[in-house]
Amino acid sequence: MTSALRRCDNCPTLAMAAHVVSVEDLCPTLRRITLGGPELMHFGVDGPTLDLRLKLVLPNAGATPRTVLDSLADIRPLADAGEDTGWYRSWLAKPEFERGAIRTYTARELRHTPSGTELVIDFVLHVDVSNGRPEGGPATVWAASAAPGSPVAVIGPNRAIRGNDYGGIEWRPGTARRILLAGDETAVPAITGILTHLSTRPDAHEWSGQALLEVPLRGDRLDITAPDGVEVTWLPREGAPRGTLLTGAVADAAPPATRVPWHPLDEVDAEDTILWETSPHNPAERYAWVAGEAGMLKQLRRWLLGPAGLTKEQVAIMGYWREGRAS
């Protein structure tokens, strides 16, 4: 007799129970939280994680770990296999005090250890403290108070089904080996993951370019493993307006092209829409990957697709967050 199919056998997206294994403050701005749990064996893709996105579902507004997982019953690994009924609509229909809050993050690293799978996520801590308690968005408040054993649900790709063409990975340089990566502190985990992977490839010596990381403080610099041909530059704001340093550095790294065919550039309203433009194919030798606060990215987009002479196929630009919106 064959066993009944489960969601982990046929569902491309799964909701997995996890818990905090360890917490480490990497620098004043970034906190590393390592998650574990038996269900994380199902998480991942057939290939490197790079800038792979995942969702965390956090208990808040009275929600408990049990009510959060119950609200995601449609995509739990051991639920009976069936047609995809639209897990997000089903989750959204639940009362907030049962379903919790969803936030999107980058998988900094996925480790397969003798004791199980570990998922590493680096959180930006921009929280205020009032009467000894952290205040801010649900994800930053959770990360600020997380301790070993703290429960959380992870929604992400089913590694038994998802390949390296998974849509939650935007790093698609194609044949390009001359690269530019740029972002603020929220992009540091993704850029670090991408560069770490490139440095392990057999063709690591072929990659060249720059990685530009604008962070709040000088103390936020981290040691990053990168191919020898890729220069990593940290740009600590130290009180300067967000994006000021990064805009100038990108203009220096991608100077005006000698010949730029004129293309009308449609402006993006970062207030009403998410600035997110990527392409699965890049046939050129240059490639730019840019992420961070959506309003700041408008200037970088205008430069890269204008004077720098890049096309939309050569640029991935992603608004990870928006100033004034809780994360």
Contact 16, 42 (CB under 8 A): yes
Check whether residue 222 and residue 280 sit in a common domain: yes
Say which residues have a Cβ less than 8 Å from residue 218's Cβ, sequence separation at least 6. Answer: 236, 238
In the numeric block, which tokens belong to residue 312? Answer: 């939309």
Query: What is d(CA 222, CA 58) in angstroms, rounded to the nearest whole number?
Result: 28
* Domain endpoint, select from 125, 157, 189: 157
Contact 218, 248 (CB under 8 A): no
**Domain of 268?**
178-321
Check whether residue 277 and residue 316 sit in a common domain: yes
pLDDT at 86: 87
Tally of domains in the chain: 2
Check whether residue 260 and residue 144 sit in a common domain: no
pLDDT at 1: 38
In the numeric block, the tokens 């967050």 are attached to: 321
Check whether residue 189 and residue 234 sit in a common domain: yes
Burial 50-74 (b: 16+ CB within 10 A, else e): bbbbbbbbbbbeebebebbbebbeb
Say which residues have a Cβ less than 8 Å from residue 248's Cβ, sequence separation at least 6. Answer: none
* Domain endpoint, select from 157, 192, 220: 157
Find the CATH number of the domain harbouring 20. 2.40.30.10
pLDDT tens for each residue of the chain, 327 residues long: 345 789 999 999 999 999 999 999 999 999 999 999 999 999 999 999 999 999 999 988 789 999 999 999 999 999 988 766 689 999 999 998 899 999 999 999 999 988 899 999 999 987 565 566 656 788 888 999 999 999 999 999 999 999 888 999 999 999 999 999 999 999 999 999 999 999 999 999 999 999 999 999 999 999 999 999 999 999 999 999 999 999 999 999 999 987 655 565 666 665 666 789 999 988 999 999 999 999 999 999 999 999 999 999 999 999 999 886 655
- Predicted structure pTM score: 0.92
Find the CATH number of the domain harbouring 303. 3.40.50.80
Query: What is d(CA 208, CA 308) in angstroms, rounded to the nearest whole number?
Result: 17
Check whether residue 315 and residue 219 sit in a common domain: yes
Question: Is 5 inside a domain boundary?
Answer: no
Check whether residue 17 and residue 151 sit in a common domain: yes
Q: Tell me the one-letter amino acid at 293.
A: E
Question: Is 152 inside a domain boundary?
Answer: yes
Question: Is 116 inside a domain boundary?
Answer: yes
* Domain endpoint, select from 123, 157, 191: 157
Check whether residue 187 and residue 151 sit in a common domain: no
Say which residues have a Cβ less than 8 Å from residue 290's Cβ, sequence separation at least 6. Answer: 180, 181, 182, 183, 187, 250, 297, 300, 301, 304, 315, 316, 317, 318
